[in-house]
Chain A
Amino acid sequence: MRVLPSGSTALLVELDDLEEVLALYSALKDHAPPGVLDLVPAARTLLVVTDPSRRSLDSVEAVLRDTTPRRGERTAGELVEIPVRYDGEDLPGLAETLGWGVDELVRRHTEDEWTVAFCGFAPGFGYMTSASRSWQVPRRPSPRTKVPAGAVALAGEFSGVYPRESPGGWQLIGRTDVQVFDLDRDPPALLSPGTRVRFVEVGR
């Protein structure tokens, strides 16, 4: 664990990999130490946002170093199924780039179990990684100015579902009718760190 300075109100904890991030996040999220206002897990880091008037950064750091990470969370999260119509604009080109063909790409995407590693970019946007293989997908050379809500996409080691229309540089492989972020639902975000996801093909 490396603790990096992040201003007068936060600490950035750098860890070896995503598993370690999730393990530390799981240990802290239900019983946040006093003075901790928010936690932001990401690919290799966990940002701990504090209220320095309640507890000094040094003492929060000491608590973090004493925390026992809760390992094995990857298989413990709730499982969500997301039906996908695999008709994304980038699907044929990407399948060719990866040397798989469309059938193979769809098979791999639906066979893998994905886990939400962290959220960001937009409310409800979950960065999912595959438990069974490492994906390496190039981003589009130039981002689209408009990606529709419900677009299912790939980039780097991640898969994601766009919660609402936004710009985006990920490769679009399909779309879903599932609303991943809905303010009229409690909780509004369908995907949160640790949630497991299976994509189910419902057409092309």
Chain B
Amino acid sequence: MTARRTVTVLEPGPLTTIQDAGRLGRAALGIGRSGACDRRSYRLANRLVGNPEDAAVLEVTFGGLVLRADHDVLVALTGAHCPGTPHNGPTRLRKGDVLRLPAPSTGLRTYVALRGGVAVEPVLGSRSRDMLSGIGPPVVAAGTCLPLGEPTGEVPGVEVAPVPAPPGDLLVVRVTSGPRRDWFEPSMWSRLVSQEYVASSDSNRVCVRLEGEPLERSRTGELPSEGMVRGALQVPPSGVPVLFLADHPVTGGYPVIAYVVDDDVDACAQLRPGQRVRFTEGRR
């Protein structure tokens, strides 16, 4: 039997975590889904190296990762493009090769899929690190040696997948009514879909915090906590919505005025601090 193939993380950058498709079916126990923030880029990265779509990858926040191949391995990077690295296509790293990710030119999160998938021990059915609850494999640190699984599927004969880069400037995403739109005057809906918000530096895998003109509630009183999914635009007492990403709490106690359409949440996961975002009314 051959020894297990590995890669070693020499530097993790600001934040590198292991992510897969997330934990399902445990929300009733207070355990959220977690998983890759930008699911579309995550799935593409796996496809490019012939992995199952739910294999575990590295989610790299704002570059900085330095990775050494301890064995020959096929790798694909998607999401935010780090200049000088191969992007949106499979590349072979030879044993001893070092892959360096500088800060991306646009976008925030880069996905690094390795053929066979990152094969750390799953926790409650998933290899995703949930930054809110602290469940899942530890945050990747310098010196971490990551085992790779056995390759399964065929490697597709694709050199580069045609995917637009995350916009560096204004991002426009679609929203639909949330369950508590009626907690706000109709004029507040217009305010939500007409103004430009700015993503705050206080954002993370749990949520994108926004800066902008506050939305005023038309009713007082507390909302009994209720379940939410990613894409929720929850309005805390400050009136400025918070956009939930992968590691959002399972329930929340503030009214959700709107939801970002699920496909567009992936683009929101690429918002950088200071970047502008506008919501436009879409259809469910």
Chain A contacts to B: CB under 8 angstroms: 4-10, 12, 14, 25, 29, 37-47, 49, 52, 57, 118-127, 164, 183, 187-189, 192-193
Nearest to B229 among chain A residues (CB) is A10
Q: Are A46 and B30 in contact (CB under 8 A)?
A: no
Nearest to B224 among chain A residues (CB) is A43
Contact of B259 among A8, A14, A52, A193 (CB under 8 A): A8
Q: List 6 A-B contacts (CB under 8 A).
A: A6-B179, A8-B263, A25-B28, A39-B28, A183-B135, A189-B31
Given contacts A42-B251, A119-B250, contact A7 B29 (CB under 8 A): no
Nearest to A58 among chain B residues (CB) is B284
Given contacts A43-B225, A123-B133, contact A8 B27 (CB under 8 A): no
Residues from chain B with a CB closer than 8 A to the CB of A45 are 224, 226-227
Is B170 engaged at the interface, CB distance under 8 Å to the other chain?
Answer: no
- Other than the given A7-B259, A7-B262, A124-B29, 15 more pairs (CB < 8 A) read A4-B180, A8-B176, A8-B261, A14-B179, A37-B25, A38-B26, A38-B27, A44-B224, A47-B228, A120-B227, A121-B30, A125-B30, A183-B135, A188-B29, A189-B29
The docked-state distance in angstroms from the alpha carbon of A7 to that of B226 is: 14
Main secondary structure, interface of B, reads loop
Q: Are A40 and B227 in contact (CB under 8 A)?
A: yes
Q: Output the least CB separation between B257 and chain A (Å).
A: 11
Chain B contacts to A: CB under 8 angstroms: 24-31, 33, 123-124, 133-135, 176-180, 224-229, 231-232, 249-251, 256, 259-263, 284
Contact of B29 among A43, A123, A164 (CB under 8 A): A123
The docked-state distance in angstroms from the alpha carbon of A120 to that of B250 is: 6
Nearest 8 interchain pairs by C-beta: A47-B227, A40-B227, A7-B259, A120-B251, A4-B179, A119-B30, A43-B224, A189-B29
The docked-state distance in angstroms from the alpha carbon of A25 to that of B225 is: 16
Residues from chain B with a CB closer than 8 A to the CB of A189 are 29-31
The docked-state distance in angstroms from the alpha carbon of A118 to that of B228 is: 14
Q: Are B176 and A12 in contact (CB under 8 A)?
A: no
Contact of B226 among A47, A183, A193 (CB under 8 A): A47
Residues from chain A with a CB closer than 8 A to the CB of B232 are 6-7
Q: Are A124 and B224 in contact (CB under 8 A)?
A: no
Given contacts A42-B227, A49-B229, A188-B124, contact A6 B259 (CB under 8 A): yes
